[in-house]
Every structure is written in C-alpha cells, then in structure tokens.
Amino acid sequence: MNTSKQVNAMIGLLFIAFLFFGGYIAREQLRAEEASIHQNEELVHRGAELFHNNCVSCHGLVGEGNIGPALNSDFFRTTDSTPDGEAREVYTYLFNTLSCGRSGAYMPLWSERFGGSMSETQIDYLVKLIMQGRWDLVEHANEEHFEHRLDSWEIQKADAERRASTIPDRPELTDYLTSLEDSANLAITADNCGQYSMDTRSKIYARTPFSADAASVEASQSTAESAATEAPPGVLAVELAKDGPYAITAPDTFSADGEISLQVKNNAALIHNLRLLRTDISADSLPTNDQGMVDVESAGEVLFASDDLQNGGEEETNLSLDAGTYVLFCDIPGHYQLRMYKAITIE
C-alpha cells in the first residue's frame, strides 16, 4: 500500500473514531439528562407521599388550603426561567418554614434537628414538590390511599352484614381534611426556631412567576385597589384574601353619614372571618393569647363579628359607627400574626 493510501486509510479511521466517540458523548449527555429527569420525578413522588401523609389535613387535598394556607400558589412556583437567586430564596423560605414551623399558628416544626419527625432529605422532597407544583402526584397519592381504605371498608361491611351488626360509615376522600371544629384540638406552635420577617414573607407572596410582565401586574393591582373604593355610597366593601392569601382589602378612610352597610366576602379557599374592633391600639400591636388569636377583652370592643366564611362566602350587616379609627382583622387562630389586619378611619 502506498503512502497516499495509508494516509487516506488513517484519515478514514480517525473520522470513524470521531463519529463513534462524538456519538457516545452525545448519548452520554442525553442519558445524564434522562437520569436527572427520572431522579427528579422520583423525588417529587416521594414528596407527594409525604404531603399526603402529613400535610393534606391542614393544607387541602391538592394544596388548595384548608385551615392552613394554600400552597398550590404561583408565588411558590419556579420555572426554568426563574433567576437562580430568586429560586434559592423561595427554596430557603419553604425549607426553613417546614423545618421550624410558624409561631402563633398550627404549623408545627418538622425537622428532626429541632424535635420534629422529618429528616432534612424528606423536607427537601416536599419543597421540590411545592416549587414544581406537582399536585397531580398528590392527587394520585390521595386516590391510591383512598382505594385501600375503601377495600378495607368493603371487608368490614361484609363482616358486619354476616354478623348482622352495624355497618361502619363509608369513608370519604374529604375525611383526610381537618375541619374547623377539629382544629380546636390542634396545638399552636410556640417554639418556632426561626421566624421570617413580614417583609420577607410579603416579598415571597408578591411573586408572579407566570405573569406576562410586571407592568400588567401593577395595573391589575391598581384596578383592584380602586375597585375597593368604588362601592355605592354608604357601603363599606371588605374583601378577604383578594390581593394576597392574608390580605384585607378595604379603603383607608370611609365617610359614614349615619348608618352604613358593611359587606364582607372571602375570596380564598382558606376559611377566614372578619372582626371590626374599636380600639386605641395600633393595628399591628393588638394583644394576642396563647391560641394565636387577638385578645379582644384587652384590645378593645368588637362591634362586628362575621361567621367563619368558606371560599366565596359573603355576609352583610348594617352598622352605625362614630368617627374614629378602627381595626379590621381575621380571628382564625394564627391569621392575625400573618398580618391579616387593616386599620380604617371613619370620617
């Protein structure tokens, strides 16, 4: 074989080797990406199981909120376009809240490091679930466990029929949820190992990762604020959880010429109520008791107390208010500490 043919053969072999190793490297990168996706799916599956076993009762069947706040919310979600710093901030907020609980609320501390029942790895699974919004996996976990309960009930039913005894009640999916009445048996967390400032929490709750642009968000908020002041004359409209999970939307000042009509609406999946308090104490300094509720006997005089309102619930009453400063607040345990209050001046 002459030199020219040898050179061509070597070039051909090198080209084949290049193609082989290039294909191997490309395949290895693809395999690594597939492995990463598979691993992430496994982690959020574990998070869904943990959520079903520990969190559904207070936070709802798919994180929509119950006696605890909604977690199925955009302000906890991140996407591929979320800046790394912002994603880390959300992760840290959720991780520390799960680890340390929430003072003055039913949220317990979960980290084994502080006496809870979960490892930091398990808390990590839950945080990933919430940030990725994989509530479909939680729904699947609920249904799977519920099917096992139904199978067990069928066996109990057949046994009761055979013995001609009382048939147990058929289980329902909503049995997983803690009712407002049951919440009286829950403990208010007092030994929180690290409380976030309201500024930090407000920053998280203000996130809009799926918004088209910040200008449209500001415009919608401005519209919402103006709408709150455009009620008919003599009507004081109060919106619960309209501009945030613990927001009270109402005008800062209201002109009352004699009797007024107070209209209250709850916009959240979470149960809220409204109290109207006449007091000389500032809205953010009301005394509270060990149940995380405002100590109204020490705070002032409650002039109006609504029922506990479910999502979409409304209530209306007529009041005669003297000129002065009043405080509107929600008296569900722990909600005042989450800044669900607002001062209003009657002129």
Q: What domains can you pick out in the chain, each with its CATH number?
A: 1-188+197-208 (no CATH), 228-346 (2.60.40.420)
DSSP secondary structure, 266-319, as one string = E-SSS-B--EEEE-SS-GGG--B-TTSSB-HHHH-EEEEEPPPB-TT-EEEEEE
Residue 314 backbone phi and psi in degrees, to 5: -130, 155
Percent of the chain scoring above 90 in pLDDT: 49
Q: Please state the rounded mean pLDDT for residues 162-189.
A: 85
Q: Give the angle 200-272-251 at the CA atoms, nearest 5°.
A: 70
pLDDT at 322 > cutoff 80: yes
Asked if residue 298 lies in contact with residue 340, where contact means CB atoms within 8 angstroms, the answer is no
Q: Which amino acid belongs to residue 136?
A: D
Report pLDDT for 1.
Answer: 52
State residue 146's pLDDT score.
96
Who has greater pLDDT, 224 or 39? 39
pLDDT band at 2 (very low <50, low <70, confident <90, very high): low
- Tokens of residue 223, six digits: 């519209």
Query: pLDDT-derived band of residue 269, with 50, 70 and 90 as boundaries?
Result: low
User: CA 107 to CA 316: how far, in whole Å?
Assistant: 32
* Whole-number pLDDT of residue 211: 56
**Separation of alpha carbons 303 and 158, rounded Å:** 55
Q: What is the pLDDT averaged over residues 89-109?
A: 88
Lowest mean pLDDT among 111-115, 172-176, 290-294: 290-294
Q: Return d(Cα 295, Cα 333) in angstroms, integer.
A: 11
Q: Does pTM top 0.75 for this prediction?
A: no
Which whole number is the average pLDDT over 146-158? 96
SS3 258: coil
pLDDT higher than threshold 60 for residue 72: yes
Q: Residue 342 has what pLDDT?
A: 94
Structure tokens at 152: 């067990």
Q: Which pLDDT does position 22 carry in this prediction?
A: 65
Are residues 148 and 171 in contact, defined by beta-carbon separation less than 8 angstroms?
Answer: no
Q: Is the pLDDT of residue 329 over 80?
A: yes
pLDDT surpasses 90 at 13:
no
Three-class SS of 179-204:
CCCHHHHCCCCCCCCCCCCHHHHHHH
pLDDT of 316 reads: 94
Res. 26 pLDDT band, cuts 50 70 90: low
Helix axes 135-162, 3-54, angle to 10 degrees: 50
Show the DSSP H helices in the chain as ranges.
3-54, 56-59, 84-100, 120-132, 135-162, 198-205, 214-228, 296-299
Q: Per-residue pLDDT tens for 205-214?
A: 777 777 544 4
Q: Phi first, then psi: give them for residue 276, nearest 5 degrees.
A: -110, 115
Residue 19, pLDDT score: 67
The answer to whether residue 338 scores a pLDDT higher than 80 is no
Q: What is the pLDDT of residue 212?
A: 46
pLDDT band at 231 (very low <50, low <70, confident <90, very high): low
Q: pLDDT grade, residue 225 (50/70/90)?
A: very low
